[in-house]
Amino acid sequence: MLNADVFFDASILADLLAWPAENAIATDIGKYNEESMKVVAENGRLLRISKQIAAADALGTSIDIYKFSAAGGQAFLAKCAEYIEDKRERNLWSEVALNDILREVEFVACPVHGRWMEIDTLEDLREAERLFADE
């Protein structure tokens, strides 16, 4: 699963799919972006994903690309259904549901090696065009 506003090198997706863990979040280790989702890890396991994580606590920035096992995907979809159907919460990020299942489903960070950019504004688009100009 990935967010539609992220542009990235194809190698990032290939690395994530080849990563040995069944459930993983593509993570720019050591990068802290105030606007992005950050992850917290302990002993290799991801414990939290949120925009409200302090720089001192963050392992890195999620680039909004996720790998799920069948069981992990089912747990995620069930949590999404709980928010949407049961709680009538329809304006939350998918990462809210993902954060909730981190207690029961083990996720790890897959380090990002390559270019990526989240595009939220026209200026972001222009910057991405410069970053990926050699493509």
* Domains: count for the chain: 1
Q: Decide if pLDDT at 15 tops 80.
A: yes
Give residue 53's domain range.
6-69+106-126
Query: Would residue 89 count as lying in a domain?
Result: no
What region does 91 belong to: left with phi over 0, alpha with psi -120 to 50, or beta?
Answer: alpha
pTM beyond 0.85, yes or no: yes
Q: Answer yes or no: are the C-beta atoms of 125 and 131 closer than 8 Å.
A: no
Query: Would residue 80 count as lying in a domain?
Result: no
Question: What's the pLDDT at 87?
Answer: 83
Query: Would residue 86 count as lying in a domain?
Result: no
CATH number at residue 23: 3.90.550.10
Angstrom distance (rounded) from CA 30 to CA 82: 33
**109 has which bridge partners?**
25
* More confident: 41 or 135: 41
Question: What's the pLDDT at 36?
Answer: 93
Query: Would residue 41 count as lying in a domain?
Result: yes
Torsion of CA 82, 85, 87, 92, to 10 degrees: 80
For residue 37, give the nearest of 96, 91, 90, 84 by alpha carbon.
Answer: 96
> What is the average pLDDT across 105-111?
99
Question: What's the pLDDT at 10?
Answer: 96
Question: What's the pLDDT at 27?
Answer: 98
DSSP H or E stretch at residue 109: strand 108-111
Which pLDDT band holds residue 135 (cuts at 50, 70, 90)?
low
Question: What's the pLDDT at 85?
Answer: 86
**pLDDT tens, position by position, 76-93:** 999 999 999 888 888 778
Question: What's the pLDDT at 3?
Answer: 92
Angstrom distance (rounded) from CA 25 to CA 72: 12
**pLDDT tens, position by position, 16-72:** 999 999 999 999 999 999 989 999 999 999 999 999 999 999 999 999 999 999 999
Tell me the chain's radius of gyration from C-alpha atoms: 15
Query: Would residue 45 count as lying in a domain?
Result: yes
